Chain A
């Protein structure tokens, strides 16, 4: 019965060849350093799922942001677990993405024909840092408030355009309800959408070109 069902689906979706192309690709040489990209992808999905769960209770308003997180931590069953995973997963994702980039650099995997994979990866790194920056404000505690004050001031030190960039990030001259709302929108809609899109491109390029050989003495 299951075999027939699978055959029916496979005929229409070609699951077998999908599996072969996406998951059963030849690896040049088994190496744990080559798993960091998959680890980053896993962390992205983990952050996505825990983030969706957090949005069930979190409220992006200065009046309620802090209280709603207090409620998640102390009021809701396993709220501490969901938020804990999201909190630590965020730090871990930045770390893993960065080590992944170092690995690609050290093994010279960014060279022809994988330059675009590298460039898209740079975009992914910046977006990941953007996620960290916007997510840091959401608890709306002292640390979040002042970290964002300083962070947006740094953005404001850009020559000529600085003042405009700072105002655009804050949604006004000061940190306010508008800042919290737009950081929230960026954190849960804009940046994740951009990340998901670029991850798609990144994965397509990896599947298309395969993984690079580890360099040897002749290279």
Chain B
């Protein structure tokens, strides 16, 4: 065998076919893999500034319920969830917001004006004006938003919503 024929025709065909086959397999296989894992690669962006209402709607010293909805799209399915928060303005410059979701089993708490506390209809939990547990089964105070999580623009109170 001379040095010009160091690669046999049969081997050449095998190598070329294997090479082309690998390229085609890659061209089809990689997109297929991308297709399968695509939903896992998507970053979910759910954070937003939610307008809760004009400041004058929230009486100073009295918790006021503000509600809003957020929609979530998973593939071809859209889910809309409602949220409620209690806004409490302590003074003209100071305010905080409490989630109305009970920290026990996620029932929605109500403000009881006579007792001056939040009460949960499910298991008689009670929270103070500041959201601390006064009685019942809840393990921790109501979720609280203040400081950086709130902003006031043109007399409207905004809540920074980050939950998925």
Contact = CB atoms under 8 A, between A and B. Distances in A.
A20 to B, nearest CB: 17
B79 to A, nearest CB: 14
B12 interface: no
Contacts of B77: 64
Contact of B76 (A56, A71, A81): A71
A47 to B, nearest CB: 14
Contact of A82 (B32, B41, B75, B76): B32
A149 interface: no
Interface in A122-170: none
Nearest to A78: B31
Contacts of A75: 75-76
Q: How large is the interface on A (under 10, 10 to 19, 20 to 34, 35 or more residues)?
A: 10 to 19
Interface string A46-75: 000000010011010000100110110001
B38 to A, nearest CB: 4
Contacts of A1: none
A78 B75 contact: no
Contacts of A23: none
A46 to B, nearest CB: 9
B76 A77 contact: no
Contacts of B35: 53, 56, 76-79, 81-82
Interface of B: 31-32, 34-36, 38-39, 41, 75-77
18 contacts: A53-B35, A57-B75, A67-B76, A68-B76, A76-B38, A76-B39, A77-B34, A77-B35, A77-B41, A78-B31, A78-B32, A78-B34, A78-B35, A78-B38, A81-B31, A81-B35, A82-B31, A82-B32
